[in-house]
Structure 1
């Protein structure tokens, strides 16, 4: 029972951490803008490709994390410190941001056609929105010091988040109409606060591990 509790607690921590970083709700306006000139079939196709590509990116970095550490001589403690700083900065920017994040992601005034879907799915949707530096660092940090079971949990949790993101993309227009832009901004800032706290926790743990080396 205690083993199950440990796995459940780990899964919960990973879910909250990755959910705060990915923040799929804040990605809805970006998806809607990039696919505004497409039909429903094209939008669904892009949503599917973006989450699959993002999942593959995180899978590669999570599985190859130990190998990357060995090749470049990186320690988990150093990764935690760097990742903690990075995650905190991302969270801080989300909290203090006064402008719509979609403005920074705007690709121009030219309409996006359906045959451009794969490039849009890769960037900016898959990377950096769904699998950005913060997500990669966090997933590697959660996976590197754990066994295969914990790695599987990380990927399962991220897979669930990708599926949630897919559903949010598909129902984006209805969601914005229901909750409104202001509520979405509040949710984004709450996620940013959670993210900043997680970053501080990662930083503190990394510093503690470095001091004990």
Structure 2
């Protein structure tokens, strides 16, 4: 168990890119409008707990239920694909009429601690020290919390048109990530 700042920085940057909390601001703003108040602390803590738990037992859980990492990643690609379509086309596919809060679903899971993040964690675990990954997760959760907490201010700064531009742009980026995640994992399903 060795603390390594370079590893923490590398893992932190990879997780920041995969979580893409800045890109999800339009989704968070939209969810806040639909559901009212978003509990930033709850969403950040649950997402962090999911990520750390999955880091230790994710592969075992998948093996236990007979799912390989590639299948999990392909499923995650579909989830990201549909979220991206919602962002780009301005349509609503995911409907959860009974929920009065979006803090856990869909913010903590699958938006922050989604299948892309979980698949990435399994890959990182093979390359880096666990303690450095955990520190990088905590750092990212602090950033997630800060963005969730200040989403109303960010919305005011960007304005309606700015949010629409960011939503569409990050929707395209999310769509590209979904396609890449699908393409890099679907081949392994048929080998």
TM-score (norm 1): 0.67
How far apart are the structure 1 equivalents of 2:83 and 2:133? 21
With over 3 angstroms needed to count, the CA separation of the structure-2 counterparts of 1:161 and 1:173, relative to structure 1, is same
Q: Does 1:92 align with 2:70?
A: no
Residues 95-134 of structure 1: matches in 2 within 5 Å? 95-97=88-90, 123-132=101-110
Q: Does 1:56 align with 2:49?
A: yes
Post-superposition CA distance 1:21-77 (Å, at most 9, x none): 971453145447623xxxxxxx8xx42233112211232233221111221121122
Unaligned runs of 5+ in 1: 36-42, 108-118
Is the 8 Å Cα contact of residues 76 and 114 (structure 2) preserved in structure 1?
A: no
* Larger-Rg structure: 1
Displacement of 1:87 = 1.8
User: Displaced runs of 4+ in structure 1, greater than 4 A?
Assistant: 4-11, 104-107, 150-158
TM-score (norm 2): 0.73
Task: Give the structure with the higher percent helix.
Answer: 1
With over 3 angstroms needed to count, the CA separation of the structure-2 counterparts of 1:133 and 1:68, relative to structure 1, is farther
Q: Match of 1:34?
A: 36
Cα RMSD (Å): 3.6
Unaligned runs of 5+ in 2: none
Total equivalences in the alignment:
186
Q: Does 1:185 align with 2:187?
A: no
